[in-house]
Structure 1
Amino acid sequence: MKLTKKVVLARAKASDLDSIKKLNCWGSNLSDISIVRDIPNIEVVTLSVNNISSLEDFSHCQNLTELYLRKNSIRKLEELHHLKPLPRLRVLWLAENPCCGQDPQKYRMTVLRNLPHLQKLDNQAVTEDELSQALEEGEEITVPPANERGANGTTDFHSDQHFTESAAETESDPLNFSMEETNKIREQLGMKLLSREKFPFTSSKDGMSKKSSVLKAILLLLNELDIEGLEVVHKSTENRLRTLQIQEIQQDR
């Protein structure tokens, strides 16, 4: 799905793109975000839980300070090449993308080596020791991904098999929420975090099913959304239902 100017203006409650400094389109099934190139003063972008596969569009956002892209479809850490020219970027959330691979330490060191000005990565503060360590353990990225420069044989921190398995696991349990996960989402949406006492469900020996827990978490978040947010959720729900219905039809054949 393409992020359009109309949606951007509605979500940011703005009359023109130049006046927008914050944009939140979390969980909107987006894959084309090229419109961000036309938002020159954007500072904070929240696009977690979408289908974004490239960081190239963000290279045009010179005022960007915070970028939230958790749970997208970014497969190669070489995409970081597009963020290196951003002098003000201080916060990046890239966790739960295929590019993170199976070695979290290698992933973190590589990100910090290429983006040493970050103050927080994946909701964890960056330390001076980590930055020094990243110079030795991280891999420097000097070129964009292969598919963007017409060449093969580039760094990829996961195997296709791992990506397929991860995708299948996510598909079978797409919203494996916990209290921590719910609070991560609330933080990205600018909401107040929940205390354990106010959290509507916890694990027990009886065991509440994951699906039931997920449903409660979603309903809790719905209470915080305005009309525009609910419209986005409604559209995403319709798309998800349509996908599941197609899968059922194919299985019955």
Structure 2
Amino acid sequence: SLSSVNSISSLEPMSQCQNLSELYLRKNSIPSLNELFHLKNLPRLRVLWLSENPCCGPDPHRYRMTVLRNLPNLQKLDNQAVTEEELSQALVDGEEITAPPAKRNLENGCPEANESSTTECTMEPKSEHLNFTLEETNKIREQLGMKPVPRDKFSSFSPRETDGSRKKRNNILNAILLLMKELDTEGLEIIHQTVGKRLQALQKKELQEER
């Protein structure tokens, strides 16, 4: 299960969590019900708390019906039990979500738009990607009791990546950060040891490549 109030804006990282059974996302920043697309293939998800997000909109009935139409295996939504009558009604009143939210253009960071669209967007500086990645990396290291990576060493700390691999890595990082909140001391200690060994191996490899 995941904690509420985390400023989460995308559910894409959850799409890889096949064993997730409870998801608590109340009071976050999820903008659209289209994000539910990322939860549709989670076979064990039974409890979802999504209230007080922007995606809920002004119509609570439409919101609940849409969630239940797309996630019919839920047993509880927003701390309220799901009934068979609701599931049947959701087939009529709910909106079927068949695609994820609009992807952001990999080259300029803008949402992909049709030719008729007048949406304007400026290119994001590459440094923003670096700052985000460095911040996420150091957040994990801090939670594991490890020293942060200095900014001047960060470019060599991480191999060059394509936008696609960076996005995949960021999704994994987000999922790890969320799931770590559920670990006890023993679990965190195991992660700490594993990460330490992995870092030693990578640093040893980098030293060998520099020679």
How high is the TM-score relative to the length of structure 1? 0.42
Bigger Rg, structure 1 or 2: 2
* Greater RCO (Cα-Cα under 8 Å, separation 6 or more): 2
